[in-house]
Amino acid sequence: MNKNNLQDFEINVKIKLSALWASVTLCYLYGDYFELYVPKKVEGLISGINLLNSPTKLFGAAILLAIPAVMVFLSLVLKPQLNKWLNIIFGLFFTAIMVLIAFDTYKYEWYAFYVFLAILESCITSFVVWCAWNWQRENTVN
């Protein structure tokens, strides 16, 4: 046994999924925060000329962005079968959204940070899907 080897532990899939959703939520927050530095963005927010220019759109965005944040908790507490399928469904959904955003914003010079984060978020949510899909079954002994 080599004394320089560090001990490693198998991480429970629920903890992995929760950590992945926490990571993607932080990336979403950073992206929205950094977007405030894009020229004329704050003026658009103040004047009401922006994508979320109605109470209904703002409420819809709140629901959409609440899902990854709530999945941090739900990934820890839900029963495995429901947990697996919610992670697959929401993981695929958010991966698709971020891929579309990356393709839509890559052409704008000021949005390179957004494209980077969209690609990173797509990788994270793809890994959510992979972890959930490959969730190991219990070993049953007959």
Retrieve residue 19's tokens.
Answer: 């950590």
Instruction: Encode burial over 49-76: b for 16+ CB neighbours within 10 A, e otherwise.
Output: eeeeeeeeeeeeeeeeeeebeebbebbe
pLDDT tens digits, 96-111: 999 998 888 877 888 8
Indicate whether 142 pLDDT > 70.
no
**pTM of the prediction?**
0.87
pLDDT digits (tens, 9 = 90+) for 43-65: 888 787 777 778 888 899 999 99
Q: Is the dihedral of CA 78, 24, 87, 139 positive or negative?
A: negative
pLDDT at site 40: 84
- What is the model's pLDDT at position 75? 98
Mean pLDDT of 119-125: 97
- Flag the least confident range among 7-11, 13-17, 50-54, 67-71: 50-54
What residue spans define the domains of the chain?
13-133
pLDDT of residue 1: 64
**CA nearest to 135, candidates 72, 77, 83:** 83
- In this predicted structure, the answer to whether residue 95 has a pLDDT above a threshold of 90 is yes
